[in-house]
Amino acid sequence: MFVALWPGNVYPLGATWDGKGTNFALFSENATGVELCLFDKEDNETRVALTEVSNFVWHGYLPGVGPGQRYGYRVHGPYAPSEGHRFNPNKLLIDPYTKAIDGDIGNGPELFGYSWDSPEEDLSFSELDSAHLMPKSVVIDQSFDWEGDDLLRTPWHETVIYETHVKGFTKLHPDMPEELRGTYAGLGHPAAIEHLQRLGITAVELMPVHQFLSHPGHLVGKGLKNYWGYDSVNYFAPYSGYSSSGTVGEQVTEFKEMVKALHRAGIEVILDVVYNHTGEGNHLGPTLTLRGIDNAIYYRLVENDQRYYMDYTGCGNSLYVRQPQVLKLIMDSLRYWVLEMHVDGFRFDLASALARELYEVNSLAAFFDIIHQDPVLAGVKLIAEPWDLGTGGYQVGQFPVLWSEWNGRYRDTVRDFWRGIDESLGQFAYCFTGSPDLYALNGRRPNASVNFITAHDGFTLNDLVSYNEKHNEANGEDNRD
Please choose, from the candidates 57, 40, 38, 39, the residue with its C-alpha nearest in 3D space to the C-alpha of residue 48.
38
In this structure, the dihedral spanned by the alpha carbons of residues 422, 426, 431 and 434, taken in order and rounded to 10 degrees, is 160
374 is catalytic: no
Which of the residues 349, 457, 477, 481 is marked catalytic? 349
Span between the terminal Cα atoms of the chain, in Å: 50
DSSP of 352-404: GGGGBSSSSB-TT-HHHHHHHT-TTTTTSEEEE----SSTT---TT-S-TT-E
Preceding omega of 12 cis (within 30 degrees of 0): yes
Cα–Cα distance measured from residue 273 to residue 261, given in angstroms and rounded to the nearest whole number:
22
For 110-140, give the secondary structure using H, E and C: HHCCCCCCCCCHHHCCCCCCCHHHCCEEECC
Would you give the DSSP letter of residue 68? Answer: T
Which of the residues 102, 385, 388, 405 is marked catalytic? 385
477 is catalytic: no
Provide CB contacts within 8 A for 353, sequence distance 6+: 276, 277, 312, 313, 318, 321, 388, 390, 393
Residues serving a catalytic function are: 349, 385
